[in-house]
Structure 1
């Protein structure tokens, strides 16, 4: 299974791309400095804004009523009090599959693939998504099994969906997905894949009967063109993935 995007995922995507492209270019260094300055200014404004909001009052959910549910999803109506003390309602969707005490529903996997003498590559997957009634271009991803860590889930899902064996490099904190719609959170797991290793010489998928996933290994420098072509043919591209190329 693969996932939709959120602004938090985009930020982690951009961080991963910094590693992919490396350092040493004066132009990239200048851009990074400019982004850092802009980020500092934005952070300062955001901190001020958050401070002002907190002085008004504390927003909080006061009640939750389940309206309907299926095996996978539930629709809830929330009652909450806003920062000005007004009582309001909000409809939300939640997964019914989140494990008890878990802080995330799923993982999404960024891969950095290395082969001596060749450019760094990454894995993207394509599959049909009924809610969109079309194919999407996404990251490998999947739900956490009971008792499973994010690292374990990432390595398992990557192996099942793509056939590749990887090493976990970094695990993000829980990241929200479409916070206005759902409480679903994921952990973004960055992995490295050694394409010179024998275990990755002939990768084979191990998909469920309900899954049909196409795997593409794309040079990072060619990723934007690859995604643009996919969009032109009618596929919908995962927002966090596309933002890596901007």
Structure 2
């Protein structure tokens, strides 16, 4: 739900909801899509040292969070925020899907950017999954089928999936290598011309099945 403080003149939760819908409608009328940044990798309930029990920890800690069975079921932290949501548990997965569907059906959001999306590719014990159920369900969901879905394909536990995020031909990725290499080129780091060519031409080394053709193009670029 939209935060109450987003309402103008202290209008309260209903006003916040109504005004967000009006904003989306106005942006659409102007030809502007609305992409919502969503954070399903952690909650506000902090870590075991400083627990802040507001919802899921008071309902079922073992269902909603990833726990370390080797360390007295302490919360695992792949989010950098003290806890990690157990997104591929069936109950949590349905909660996430219901949330996404709500934003689409009620607010007509055009798409979502998923913060630290590699967390959504982990199992209950934190191990990476080859075919994460939540990622697949988002890609196949009938309500979400018309939405843009964009992954930030890494997390704070070192699961770096740029170029290999499980996508089912639906997920787009933030290309962190493009960002980093472009910065290096602008800074004037040596030897970056060929790398820049690869990035601005679509990062074929990451996203194309036959990278040899791109390599030849980069060699041609370097020779000119």
* TM-score (norm. length: structure 1): 0.22
- Higher RCO (CA < 8 A, seq sep 6+): 1
More helix by share: 2
Write 1 or 2 for the structure with the bigger share of strand.
Answer: 1
